Amino acid sequence: MWQWYKITYKQMKRSFLYLSALSVLTASCNNNDSNGGNAGANTLPAPTPLSYQVLQVHPHDTSAFTQGLVYHNGVLYESTGNPDARQGAGWVGTAAITTGKQDKQVVLPPEIFGEGITLLGDKIYQITWQNQKGFVYDVKTFRKIREFSYRGEGWGITNDGSHLIVSDGSSNIYYWNPETLKEEKRLSIQDQNGLKNNINELEFINGFLYANVWQTPQILKIDTATGNVVGVLDLSDLVRSYPELTTPPSDVLNGIAWDSTKNRLFITGKRWPKLFELRLN
């Protein structure tokens, strides 16, 4: 039953992606974004391969269907979804890096499928998959401050210090005002082959947007001025080195958190048994 639900969840997302890809292509023909849509994408240089080294390997709880990961002031924050209600509801809280132990501060109702989180100021912002609603929590107490609504799906979220940056599984990312929670601009993501769909978990690092591509072990480095993919962090070798990352209940890579004080990157996946601490070279 769990496997059936898992397949259904993926099929639903995949169907959405096909539709969103068609809508993005249609929109680019009729109404170019500020970055010029996809015009000239085939003239872009290929992204630079990014190298890394593994600093530490930590445990991660395999019950966590990770959707969002944030590191702030020595604390790792995590949000999860609930593809199978029998495995427990989604939650928002903290996770101890060295032990993987969770502290579930907010447990979501079973009908709410939690997605990404980001921390801006003294607030945690969370989006949801198909519920078309988000939540804002106080970072110290996890008290819910407000709810808000938006159209479409929610996948990943991060911020650049002034805007919330949101993905919906298409090739678009959306910049929201953190006070009004309304879209102020959007950007299409492309490389030398054209638009890049399946943009999922996000992290803002040193002026660039890093984006996990759903169902792949790749993280894209994106120029936020143009939407062009300028680098690719390919974690295929890392995944192959740990067979337990591809053995059920482990699912796909999904979770990027940046520690700006020590210049280290934390990555994990949905129900992965490992949390990796990396140094980008």
Q: Which residues pair with 103 in a beta bridge?
A: 94
What pLDDT was estimated at residue 86?
58
Return the closest-CA partner of residue 167 out of 220, 124, 234: 220
Identify the CATH assignment for 2-280 out of 3.40.640.10, 2.30.40.10, 2.40.128.630, 3.60.15.10: 2.40.128.630
- Residues 228 and 192 sit within 8 Å (Cβ to Cβ): no
Tokens at residue 262, please? 């020590």
Q: Tokens 């593809």 belong to which residue?
A: 83
Return the closest-CA partner of residue 5 out of 239, 199, 268, 249: 249
User: What residues have CB less than 8 Å from 73, skipping those under 6 apart?
Assistant: none
**pLDDT reading at 9 higher than 60:** no
What pLDDT was estimated at residue 12?
52
Q: Is the torsion defined by CA of 270, 271, 274, 277 positive or negative?
A: positive
pLDDT tens string 25-83: 444 433 444 344 454 557 899 999 999 999 999 999 999 999 999 999 999 999 999 98
Confidence of residue 1 (pLDDT cuts 50, 70, 90): very low
**Mean pLDDT, the chain, as a whole number?**
89
Confidence of residue 239 (pLDDT cuts 50, 70, 90): very high
Confidence of residue 84 (pLDDT cuts 50, 70, 90): confident
- Residues 165 and 209 sit within 8 Å (Cβ to Cβ): yes
pLDDT tens string 102-152: 999 999 999 999 999 999 999 999 999 999 999 999 999 999 999 999 999
What pLDDT was estimated at residue 25?
40
Least trusted range by pLDDT, from 83-92, 122-131, 239-248: 83-92
pTM for the whole structure: 0.86
Tokens at residue 130, please? 């198909």
Concatenating the DSSP letter of every residue in 223-251 gives ETTT-BEEEEEE-HHHHHH-GGGGSTT--
What pLDDT was estimated at residue 32?
42
**pLDDT reading at 20 higher than 60:** no
- Residues 212 and 252 sit within 8 Å (Cβ to Cβ): no
